[in-house]
Amino acid sequence: MIYNFNNLPSNDNLNDYSYSIAVTKEMFIRRGKMIAYYGNLKFEALGSSISATLVRSAFNAPSYVSDFVIVTGQGKLILGDNARNIAAYNLEDGNLTVKSSRVLAFEPTLICQECTLPGYLTLLGTGTFLASSNGPVHFMEPPVRVDEQALLGWVDLPCPSYYYDYQYVQGVIGAIGAGLGITSSQEEKQVNFVGQGTVLVQSSELGEPSSALQRVLMNIPGLSSLDLENVLGSINSRLGRQ
């Protein structure tokens, strides 16, 4: 199918890997995840004068300010995330924590806060947000233990704890690996959930890029010209010292 403004879906998936948003009001979106749009849309960095009021009321995650922009105007916006599955989630006076790198967009009616568990964001209130995942998401009822790499997030649950399989740790391979800081498997460390709520589990335990270079390269498409100049300046400065 060839899409145009009229036949693009409004607030629905085009396919498993892209999502079309009908923009009629402000919305937070992750930098670098816009793949196309129709209409008169404006993308603004957080911290600008126009976005200041929204940031004060809805964005309480200073470590992630540079990861998001605010989109305003009227039009249709298509988001994608490296061919990962994308789904919309509706919260009603809820409390949902999700892996920060997978939060693609959320309405300002939700309050975004940093979770006490590093690498996760907590969304509070009523509204819609988009998240990507490695394959379809499965919803699990606690008590349950989840592979750390497969975990996407959790709803209306206390912050989880880590559970270690000490039978593995006490084994010869596990003991040597622990002493050297090396592990041959991630399955000896699990995230432990108890209480009433729901756990969101991805279909694949494929993790984030393992090297610093991979993480930098993944973020380059979302950088502005000024950001790229600053990166280039830092690189040249570093090379000059070596």
Q: What is the DSSP letter of 166?
A: H
Return the pLDDT at 210. Answer: 45
Is residue 77 within 8 Å of residue 20, measured between CB atoms?
A: yes
Return the pLDDT at 168. Answer: 56
Low-confidence ranges of the chain (pLDDT < 70): 48-51, 166-187, 206-224, 242
**Cα–Cα dist 177/195, whole Å:** 33
Return the pLDDT at 48. Answer: 63
DSSP H stretches of helix in 13-59: 52-58
How many Cβ atoms are within 10 Å of 180's Cβ, its own excluded?
8
Return the pLDDT at 172. Answer: 44
Domain assignments of the chain as residue spans, ordered by start: 12-134, 139-202
Return the pLDDT at 178. Answer: 53
| CA angle at 200 for the pair 194 and 206, rounded to the nearest 5° | 115
Return the pLDDT at 54. Answer: 74
Report the candidate in 113, 107, 35, 98 with the shortest Cα–Cα distance to residue 71: 107
Return the pLDDT at 136. Answer: 94
Write out the two tokens for 193.
Answer: 């959930």
Nearest 5°: phi and psi at 220? -60, -40
Return the pLDDT at 219. Answer: 57
**Cα–Cα dist 42/70, whole Å:** 8
Is residue 68 within 8 Å of residue 29, measured between CB atoms?
A: yes
Q: How far is CA 158 from CA 44, 68, 131, 155, 234, in A?
A: 34, 26, 21, 9, 41
Return the pLDDT at 176. Answer: 54
The domain defined by 12-134 folds into: Double-stranded beta-helix (3.60.160)
Return the pLDDT at 179. Answer: 54
**Cα–Cα dist 229/38, whole Å:** 29
Return the pLDDT at 17. Answer: 96
Report the candidate in 142, 146, 91, 144 with the shortest Cα–Cα distance to residue 121: 91
**Cα–Cα dist 76/35, whole Å:** 11
Write out the two tokens for 156.
Answer: 């209306």
Specify the pTM.
0.75
